[in-house]
Each structure stands twice: as C-alpha cells, then as structure tokens.
C-alpha cells in the first residue's frame, strides 16, 4: 500500500465527478465549451458525475473504515469542488480534459492504494 | 404579510449573520487553530526535544510515577501522557486531587516531566497556554466567567444555524451556479466567494454548528433535564441511564499498595504494538479500589478516546472490557461531538479540518463585507456614509484583519517574552488582545479604505516574519526542523508563510481595485479627447 494513494484517488474522483456535473449545467457548460449544451446527452454526464463522486468514497472507506471514511469523503469532495471552481474561473477550456484525465488516474491511485 | 418566503428568509439571513458575524469569525479562527492545538503547543515550547523515535514507554513510566508520588501520593486520579501522538515529544503527567467539601471536582495539576530526573521541567520549558488557550477561547471566549462565555458563544451558534438554513433559501442560486466565481467584479465577486465557500463546505458548516451546540446541550436547554431530574442524585441517575456513566465513587477506601504498572504497560504494548500508548490513568492510586486504565492513541473510529485496557490496581489482574452501556441516543450525540473535535484525524484529514474552519471564517468575512458593499453601492452618490455603515466597516476591518494580526502577535509574544518570565503565559494572551485592540483603534483613526490596505500589509508582515522571529530566537527554526523532518514544527512556520501569502493575495486585489478606480477618470478623459476630432 502506497501512502496517501487513497486520499489522492478520492480527490481525483471528486474533481472528475464535479467536472462532469459542471459539464451538465447550462452555465458551466457554456464556460467550458463556449456554447449552451445541445441534445439530451447531459443525463449521461450527470449520472457519471454522481457515480464518480460515489466512487470517491470507496478508497477512503477501505482505508479508514465506514465512519471516518465518510467524514474524509466529505472533506475531499469539498476540495475537489473548489478545484473545479478555480479551474472554471481561470482555465475553463482546459477543464473538460483535466476532468477526463482525473477519472482513470483516480482508478490507478485506488489500485495502488490496495483497493481492488 | 406581503413579502414572500424568500424575502423574509433573506432578511433573516442578513440580520442574524450581521449581528453575530464578528463573534462567529473569532470562534471559527480560534477554533481552526484548535485542530492543531497540540502542534501549536509543541511549537510554543521550543525547549522540548525534536521529533525522533520517542523513548520506550517503560523507560518513561518511572519518571512520571516518581513525580506523581512526590506531588500527590494520595489523589483521586493520576494521568500519565506518553509522547508519540501528533508529533508530541514530551512526557506529561497530571493529577486530580480529591474534591474538598463543597467541590464537585478536585483541583487538576498538569506538568511536563523530565524523563531523566522525574522532576517537573519547570525552569527549562517556558510556560505557555499554547494551542490549548486558543482552542478554549473558541467556546468560552476570554476575560469573562466561563458560564458567560459558553452562553454567548451558544447564542451566536444558534444564530449561525438560523443563518445557514435561511442562507440556503436566500442564495438559492448556489446549487444552479454551483461553481461560479467571477473575480474583480466588486459586489458580485464577494457574493460569489460567499456562496462558493458556503456551498462547497455546507456539510462541514452544518455539522460544526449543530454539534457545537450539542456540547453544552444541558446548559443551553436546561428546562427538560431540570424538570425530569431536579436534584443531584437524580441527575447522576440520568447520566447513568443515558451515557452508561457510573457515578464515580467519592468514598475514600482504605490504603493498599498499588501493583507495579510496568507489567500492565507491557501487556498493552503486546496488544497494540510499541509506541501506541497515549495515556495511563490510575484511579484512586494507593487505595483498595485502585484501577489502571491504559489507552491507545490510534483512533480508528468516531470516538473521543482510543481503545482501552483496564487492570485491577491492587492485584494487577486484567479487568474484563466494559461493554457499551450507553443508549443509542448517547452514542449518536457522542459521535457528533467526536466529529466536531476530530481526534481521530490523521495529518491529511486534520489539514482538511483546519482549512474547513478557516473557510468558514472566510465565509463569515465575505458575508460581513457583502452587507456593507451592498449598502454602499446604493449610496454611491451620497457624500457622507450613514453611521451604521461606518460602524460595520470599522468592525469588519478591526475583526477580519485585526484578529489575525492579534493571533500573529500571540506567536510573536511566545518567542519575544523572556522564556522564564513570571506570568508569561497570561501576557502572551494579553499580547493577542492588546494588538487586536490596537488594530481597532487604527481602524477608527484612519479612513477605512486606506486602513484596509495598510492593515493587510501589516498582516502579511506579521505572519511572514513569524519564521524569522523563530529563527532569531530559537534553534527550532525551518533550517533545523526541515532537515530533521520534524513536520509538526516546520508545519507551523510554513503555515504562517501560507497565511501571509493569502493576505498578500488580498492586498493584490485591493491594490488592483484602487488602481482601476483611480484610472476611471483617466479613461473617461481619454474618451473625451478621442471624441473631439469625430
């Protein structure tokens, strides 16, 4: 088990998940892409975002147990959400790519942390 | 009522928030430092050893026992605190005297013990309130009776809960514009920052406020328990029924030699591993009903103390683990208190707790600033601001910038007041409040916009120079702590630099804003010139 990998995995999943949720919101979609969302594929991003946020709890629960893991999860989600907010403010066009990369990296970190 | 629900909530949010905002800012700032109380206390006693593998528990035990025997052979309770937890390197011991007639609790005395001699480390380690004094201020304030302090904080916390809940209704856009932050847009930026800090940490804010109220539940809401359990004995029965807490026996039993503690310590180390023992408690030492409890410092769950082994103090035999006797209600409230205190948090989660606390302070600060920005925008053309707005401006500046400067002064005072001065711990705290008071006077004396820039500059210097003062006065500075890998010590110095950078960022915003404001007439003039040929 490599130190801090559970925390890093949760942070990346939180960041990626919130990016997907932001992508599914009119205002933030426009911030990233420059246009309002077309079509109905937003539901997919919403579901994916929530799934990623839920997944963020997994490595923390595995490492710290149910109760402390839950507290940790909320803290890491706060950090992930603030990360998305900062990115949306200063580098919105890079955010979709960053969010997309964060998710597989989160899985890698989870694997390194010993969750399988 | 003509107003809609949302307007009435907005009114409630605005005025509850303003009324108690300054006290709450103080509570959140000092409370955030409470999460690193051990770390601050260690930094504030530079005479203590650097981090390293702490000596084995069994070599420390005799020194602590020797001191306790010499101080208080006959006490209600002894405590021995072993090093190794959260970067602590010192051996500490404490004892609680038998209560005198008319007292509920006997006096509690705690000291740092020199492991080599078994004597108190007085005269070598400076006296300081450390992080614990900052922590205690966040729920009991300072310079007033404890009962007043907790009641004032309690009333403010109830207002906070009202402000959070009404705030969710008022700023309903927080969920639609979840991540929105538009910098350099004046009032809009403050509103965005306020919303962003609130919504991203909403679970923390709700938890910390609500659980904070639970701490003094029976003080804040005394009527039910006063009615149902009116006198002392029935009150004891209540605690026994709900918390499974047995009324501790105040009868003094006959003398009986206490069994050697070292074998019990060895048994506990076999159970948890060496270096995992946080605390030994000896109930009624030297009496026939003596009991020794040994607690581990690894907390894996939402509790306020680690796993525990108990021994009969006379025979030395292991006592069976006490089953959980508390009710589900008590377990729930104790878990809430545990979440508030975060004793179980490792370094990363602890850092998140500190950041959440400071984020809460920032949320309150942005809310306070928003109140006056909004009103000033409406009065842009008025030549003189009404007294109410001036007052809020001064209170905002004096608190939002003044209190942090005061906290920095506390750290300065710890290094600059002579290490062996009598009563220095009290003067460290006086330094905090005198500096804070001076900041208020400055905010009253100077025009507020100018004072903002100047005091933010002072805050940068106050925090950035903490590592420098540390370098000049001790051998526990970054040049030593970083190579030694002593992250507890280094963390405080680096944290001070981090806070200085934060204030530097704020100063940058203010300077850009002032420049922009100053250049508006210039642009207007330039436009006029362009307009002439056309």
Residues from chain A that touch B203, judged by Cβ atoms under 8 A, are 74, 78
Mean pLDDT of B11-16: 92
Q: How far apart are CA A48 and CA A16, in angstroms?
A: 9
Mean pLDDT of B64-92: 88
Q: Do B179 and A72 touch (CB under 8 A)?
A: no
| Domain boundaries defined on chain A | 5-113
Q: Which helix (H) or strand (E) holds B227?
A: helix B223-228
Q: Which helix (H) or strand (E) holds B112?
A: strand B108-113
Q: Do A25 and B183 touch (CB under 8 A)?
A: no
Q: How far apart are CA B375 and CA B371, in angstroms?
A: 7
Question: Which residues fall within 8 angstroms of residue B222, CB to CB, at 6 or more apart?
Answer: none
Q: What is the pLDDT of residues B361-385, one digit of tens each?
A: 999 999 999 999 888 888 876 778 8
Q: What is the pLDDT of residues B126-178, one digit of tens each?
A: 999 999 999 999 999 999 999 899 999 999 999 999 999 999 998 888 888 88
Mean pLDDT of chain B: 88
Q: Do A78 and B178 touch (CB under 8 A)?
A: no
**Would you say residue B287 has pLDDT above 70?**
yes
Residues from chain A that touch B178, judged by Cβ atoms under 8 A, are 21-22, 25, 28, 81
The partner residues of B95 in beta bridges, in order of sequence, read B78, B109
pLDDT of residue A58: 95
The token pair that represents B259 in the structure block: 């069994």
pLDDT of residue A86: 95
Q: Do B183 and A89 touch (CB under 8 A)?
A: yes
Residues from chain B that touch A68, judged by Cβ atoms under 8 A, are 300-302, 344-345, 349
The answer, for A38 touching chain B at a CB cutoff of 8 Å, is no
**Would you say residue B117 has pLDDT above 90?**
no
B2 or B134: whose pLDDT is higher? B134
Q: What is the pLDDT of residues B474-532, one digit of tens each?
A: 999 999 999 998 999 999 999 999 999 999 999 998 888 888 877 766 555 555 444 44
The answer, for B201 touching chain A at a CB cutoff of 8 Å, is yes
The answer, for B182 touching chain A at a CB cutoff of 8 Å, is yes
The token pair that represents B206 in the structure block: 């709700």
pLDDT of residue B514: 82
pLDDT-derived band at B353 (thresholds 50, 70, 90) equals very high
The answer, for A63 touching chain B at a CB cutoff of 8 Å, is no
pLDDT of residue B531: 45
CB B353 within 8 A of CB B361: no
Q: Which residue of A has its CA nearest to B299?
A: A68
**Would you say residue B407 has pLDDT above 50?**
yes
Q: What is the pLDDT of residues A68-97, one digit of tens each?
A: 999 999 999 999 999 999 999 999 999 999
DSSP for B360-390, written as a single string: HHHHHHHHHHHHHHHHHHHTTT-SS--HHHH
* CB burial of residue B532 (10 Å; 0-12, 13-18, 19+): exposed
Q: How far apart are CA B10 and CA B6, in angstroms?
A: 6
| Domain boundaries defined on chain B | 57-125+246-325, 401-534
Tokens 């039993």 identify what position?
B253
The answer, for A76 touching chain B at a CB cutoff of 8 Å, is yes
Question: Which residues fall within 8 angstroms of residue B418, CB to CB, at 6 or more apart?
Answer: B424
Q: What is the pLDDT of residues B172-220, one digit of tens each?
A: 888 888 899 988 787 888 899 999 999 999 999 999 999 999 998 888 8
pLDDT of residue B300: 67
A-contacting residues in B 207-236 (Cβ below 8 Å): none
Interface test with A, best of B174, B176, B177, B179 (most A CBs within 10 A): B179
pLDDT of residue B236: 79
Q: How far apart are CA B284 and CA B427, in angstroms?
A: 36
The answer, for B335 touching chain A at a CB cutoff of 8 Å, is yes
CB A81 within 8 A of CB B201: no
- Nearest residue, CB atoms, B302 vs list A7, A25, A67: A67
The answer, for B353 touching chain A at a CB cutoff of 8 Å, is yes
The answer, for B178 touching chain A at a CB cutoff of 8 Å, is yes
- State ipTM: 0.93
- Residues counted in chain A: 116
């Amino acid at each position: 088990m490599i130190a801090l990998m559970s925390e890093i995995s949760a942070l990346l999943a939180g960041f990626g998940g919130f990016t997907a949720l932001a992508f599914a919101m009119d205002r933030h979609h426009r911030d990233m892409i420059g246009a309002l969302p077309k079509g109905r594929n937003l539901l997919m991003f919403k579901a994916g975002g929530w799934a990623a946020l839920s997944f963020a709890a997994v490595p923390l629960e595995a490492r710290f147990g149910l109760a402390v893991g839950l507290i940790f999860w909320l803290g890491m989600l706060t950090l992930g959400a603030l990360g998305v907010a900062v990115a949306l403010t200063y580098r919105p066009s890079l955010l979709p790519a960053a969010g997309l990369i964060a998710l597989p990296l989160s899985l890698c970190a989870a694997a390194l942390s010993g969750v399988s | 009522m003509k107003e809609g629900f949302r307007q009435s909530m907005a009114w409630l949010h605005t005025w509850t928030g303003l009324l108690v905002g300054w006290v709450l800012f103080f509570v959140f700032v000092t409370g955030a430092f409470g999460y690193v109380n051990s770390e601050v206390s260690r930094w504030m006693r530079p005479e203590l050893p650097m981090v390293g593998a702490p000596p084995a528990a069994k070599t420390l035990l005799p020194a602590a026992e020797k001191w306790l025997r010499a101080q208080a052979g006959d006490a209600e309770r002894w405590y021995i605190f072993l090093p190794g937890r959260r970067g602590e390197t010192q051996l500490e011991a404490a004892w609680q005297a038998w209560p005198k007639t008319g007292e509920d609790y006997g006096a509690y005395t705690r000291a740092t013990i020199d492991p080599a001699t078994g004597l108190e480390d007085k005269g070598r380690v400076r006296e300081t309130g450390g992080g614990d004094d900052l922590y205690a201020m966040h729920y009991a304030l300072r310079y007033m009776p404890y009962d007043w302090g907790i009641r004032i904080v309690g009333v403010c916390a109830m207002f906070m809960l009202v402000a959070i809940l009404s705030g969710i209704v008022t700023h309903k856009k927080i969920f639609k514009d979840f991540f929105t932050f538009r910098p350099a847009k004046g009032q809009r930026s403050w509103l965005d920052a306020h919303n962003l800090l609130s919504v991203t940490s909403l679970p923390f804010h709700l938890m910390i406020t609500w659980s904070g109220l639970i701490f003094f539940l029976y003080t804040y809401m005394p009527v039910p328990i006063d009615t149902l359990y009116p006198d002392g004995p029935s009150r004891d029965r209540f605690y026994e029924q709900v918390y499974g807490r047995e009324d501790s026996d105040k009868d003094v039993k006959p003398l009986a030699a206490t069994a050697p503690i070292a074998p019990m310590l060895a048994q506990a180390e076999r159970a948890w591993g060496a270096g995992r023992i946080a605390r030994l408690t000896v109930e009624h030492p030297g009496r026939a009903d003596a009991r020794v409890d040994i607690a581990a410092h690894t907390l894996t769950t939402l509790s306020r103390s680690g796993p525990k082994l108990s021994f009969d103090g006379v025979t030395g035999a292991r006592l069976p683990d006490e089953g959980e006797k508390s009710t589900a209600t008590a377990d729930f409230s104790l878990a809430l208190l545990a979440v508030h205190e975060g004793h179980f948090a490792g370094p990363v989660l602890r850092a998140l707790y500190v950041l959440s606390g400071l984020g809460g302070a920032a949320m309150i600060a942005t809310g306070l600033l928003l109140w006056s920005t909004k009103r000033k925008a409406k009065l842009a053309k008025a030549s003189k601001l009404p007294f109410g707005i001036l007052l809020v401006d001064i209170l905002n500046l004096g608190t939002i910038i003044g209190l942090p400067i005061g906290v920095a002064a506390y750290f300065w005072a710890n290094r600059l007041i002579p290490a062996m001065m009598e009563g220095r711990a009290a003067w460290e705290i006086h330094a905090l409040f005198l500096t804070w008071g001076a900041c208020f006077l400055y905010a009253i004396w100077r025009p507020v916009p100018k004072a903002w820039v100047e005091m933010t500059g002072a805050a940068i210097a106050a925090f950035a120079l903490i590592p420098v003062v540390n370098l000049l006065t001790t051998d526990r500075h970054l040049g030593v702590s970083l190579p030694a890998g002593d992250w507890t010590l280094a963390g405080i110095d680096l944290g001070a630099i981090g806070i200085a950078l934060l204030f530097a960022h704020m100063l940058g915003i203010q300077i850009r804003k002032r420049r922009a404001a100053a250049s508006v007439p210039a642009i207007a003039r330039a436009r006029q010139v362009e307009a002439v040929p056309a």
